[in-house]
Amino acid sequence: MTANAFLSLLQGAGVTLIISLSGIAIGVPLGLVLALVRWRRIPGLSQVAAVYVSLLRSTPAVTLCLLIFFAVPTLGIEIGAWSAGIMTLAFVTAAFNCEVWRAGLLNFPHEQVEAARAFGMTPLLRLRRIIFPQLWRAALPGLVNEATLLIKASPAIAVIGVAEITRAATRIGAQTYEPLPPMLTATGIYVAIILVFVGLQRLTERRYGRGAGA
């Protein structure tokens, strides 16, 4: 395997990271919104959110990615492979993040909400000043865990031709007729990325306690 090939693998790893992190950046707040909708039992929306979570949790990322990439243009909206990839990962992780946020909300001490209400805080103010500053700490270990799982699922977007790391590895393999060396190298890079996230997870667990409810 040439240095050039290695560089394009690293480039693929960069793509994997950018797309995954973008998906996480959208999916984490989206998950919070879904969790709040369910927590506040907003009529109609709450049920929609519940169905969304249930559906997305059993949908393979590959299938969702194909749906978005091929079906969204039929609605008259142009969508590139990158955007489709980011949307896929964001939608998937939002469903799982919703459950992490929701567990944190359900474990949130009710007295504190009552107290804030007694002080005349509006729901939004309560959320911003009282709940969220404590909630994110409780949710962080769970969210990092979901982020790790998302990175492991991210090769799904190779199916629509995004040149992420597995795709880069197969391309090099096809060019050189030696598929194994780039595959093994890519695996090594992947393991390194995952290990960083696992380390991050341990760190957050140590700092903020284990699990969403801690």
Partner 1 sequence: MMHGFDVVWEHSDRLLWGVLNTIALSIVGAVLAVVFGALVAILLMSPNRLLRLSVQGLVDLMRCVPFLMLVYLVYYGLPHLGIDFDNWTAGLAALALYNTAYMAEILRGIWSGLPRETFEAATAFGYHGPRLYTRIVFPQVFLAAGPMLGNQLIQIIKDTAFLTIIAVPELTQAASGIQAQYFVPFAAFIAAILIYWALCAIVEGGVALIEKVAEARR
Residues that bind partner 1 (CB under 8 A): 54-55, 57-64, 66-67, 70-71, 74, 151-156, 158-159, 166, 169-170, 173, 179-180, 183-184, 186-187, 190-191, 194-195, 198
How far apart are CB 184 and partner 1 at their closest, in Å?
Answer: 7
Please give the DSSP secondary-structure letter assigned to residue 142. H
Q: How many angstroms separate the CA atoms of 96 and 35, rounded?
A: 10
How far apart are CB 152 and partner 1 at their closest, in Å?
Answer: 5
Gyration radius from the chain CA atoms? 20
Residue whose CB is less far from partner 1, 28 or 64: 64
Give the orientation angle of helix 61-71 with respect to helix 81-106, to 10 degrees: 130
How far apart are CB 187 and partner 1 at their closest, in Å?
Answer: 5
Residue whose CB is less far from partner 1, 131 or 160: 160
With b meaning 16 or more CB within 10 Å and e meaning fewer, what string describes 146-179? bbbebbebbbbbbbbebbbbbbbbbbbbeeeeee
Residue whose CB is less far from partner 1, 45 or 72: 72
Residue whose CB is less far from partner 1, 100 or 135: 100
How far apart are CB 90 and partner 1 at their closest, in Å?
Answer: 16
**Is the separation of the CB atoms in 197 and 145 below 8 Å?**
no
